[in-house]
Amino acid sequence: MSVSARFPTRSVEFDLLCLIARRTPDLARAQQLLRAGVDFPGLIDLADFHGVRPQLIGGFSALSWEGVPAPARAELEGFQRLHGARALAASEELFRVAAALAEKQLRFAVFKGAALAVALYGDVSRREYVDIDILVPVEQVDATERLLEALGYRAANGDRAFRHAFLRYLRQWAFVHAAADTTIDLHWDFSGAHVPFPLSPAEVWRDLDRVSIGNHSLPTVSGANLALLLAGHGTKEAWRCLGWVCDFAMLLDCSPDLDWLDVHRRARARGCGDAVLLACAMARELLDAPVPQALLGALDRSDRVRALAARLTLHLKEGLPEPDDEQNFSDFHLCESRIAKLGAWLRLALTRTTGDYEAVKLPPALWFLYYVMRPFRLAAKAVASISLPSTSVKR
């Protein structure tokens, strides 16, 4: 569900979140908004959706909770206690899985989740996250899946044959441990096979970093690669979550010595240079984060990036309805040209997905027919979307 569908008129509350979620919160202006009047239940719901409740709590605490009603404070402090406990439990589960992977000599890297919380915010509980993300080499996916099953995890999306037929193009699978209340997203790449991405897994494996979580040191994505990963992920998701913008803004602040020209050059080489510029533009527009000097010229010259950043920030600030193509095909923002986007469309049109299976549930022996049926199904959906603009095209 889009932000706009849940919060159609929350610009004041969203502005307050942006002021508080900055690397250095603008407490004076935040206090002005609080004194003018804020819908606190709406604010907390919005902070929940955008994954910035820890920042909101930090800002209110810095203001000594002045102007915050007792029920709102109690709700946020209750979340803080629960989130802290969940973050510690998720970290313990991460350590258990990491130890099992190391014992089996399976290569892995942790990213997002607790690793990103520690790397950017200094503590596992200062960032919201709901799962554990692990990257493994593509040739070790099956072995890792067997290991996760031995640890009590079960695939969230059908059996292995079903996933290979309809989900492998996403290059990630989810595994759930019901007793531990934990989900692991197992990745072997960072985007669907139909679109480009600023960072390749090979680049990660050549330059791993380490992150210390508690008494454990785990392999993770290094600084320059992390910049490419965050920029690509946010762009892939149309930057519809303020928490992702906060992550990139924090990286800008934490990495003053990063060679941003080289980061941009590497992204351009993979057809995604605009993703880095867009990440900088979103962080500047929403959180007043300074754009690296090395990228200012490129950003000023890119009409596409500036127009896209303006449109995406407006959607967030004003609650404008998201077009279907941004809800269902937001990863196409990674494509910098019409030719690249056309190529992505063609690759996706020739890829079986769960949408095909849900439309017509054939037995496994006939799954090959989806290659023939898919173009006709998409064409029918496209015609329907012209007649009914609110209808979304399901992949």
Q: What is the pLDDT of residues 245-282, one digit of tens each?
A: 999 999 999 998 999 999 999 999 999 999 999 999 99
Residues 343 and 376 in one domain: no
Residues 342 and 356 in one domain: no
pLDDT score at 395? 56
Within 10 angstroms of residue 30's Cβ, the number of other Cβ atoms is 24
Residues 273 and 294 in one domain: yes
**Can you spell out the DSSP letters for 78-143?**
HHHHHHHHHHHHHHHHHHHHHHHHHHTT---EEESHHHHIIIIISSTTSS---SEEEE--GGGHHH
Residue 391, domain extent: 352-395
Residues 362 and 346 in one domain: no
Mean pLDDT of 75-83: 98
**Count of domains forming the chain:** 3
Q: Is the pLDDT of residue 2 over 80?
A: no
Q: Does any domain span residue 217?
A: yes
Closest CA to 179 of 154, 145, 158: 154
User: Hey, what are 191's tokens?
Assistant: 């985007």
Residues 346 and 357 in one domain: no
Q: Does any domain span residue 52?
A: no
Residues 337 and 314 in one domain: yes
pLDDT score at 389? 46
Residues 337 and 287 in one domain: yes
Q: Is the pLDDT of residue 383 over 90?
A: no
Q: How confident is the model at residue 8 (pLDDT cuts 50, 70, 90)?
A: very low
Q: Domain with 122 in it: what CATH number? A: 3.30.460.40
What confidence tens digit (pLDDT) does each residue in 100-126 have?
A: 999 999 999 999 999 999 999 999 999
Q: Does any domain span residue 47?
A: no
Percent of the chain exceeding pLDDT 70 equals 91
Q: Does any domain span residue 117?
A: yes
Q: How confident is the model at residue 3 (pLDDT cuts 50, 70, 90)?
A: very low
Q: Is the pLDDT of residue 200 over 70?
A: yes
Residues 288 and 344 in one domain: yes
Q: Is the pLDDT of residue 325 over 80?
A: no
What integer best gives the mean pLDDT of the chain?
Answer: 92
User: Hey, what are 194's tokens?
Assistant: 């139909």
Q: How confident is the model at residue 5 (pLDDT cuts 50, 70, 90)?
A: very low
Q: How confident is the model at residue 207 (pLDDT cuts 50, 70, 90)?
A: very high
Residues 211 and 305 in one domain: no
Q: Are 154 and 184 in contact (CB under 8 A)?
A: no
Q: Is the pLDDT of residue 239 over 90?
A: yes
Which residues 6+ apart lie within 8 Å of 335 measured at CB? 195, 196, 271, 341, 343, 344
Q: Does any domain span residue 95?
A: no
Residues 185 and 268 in one domain: no
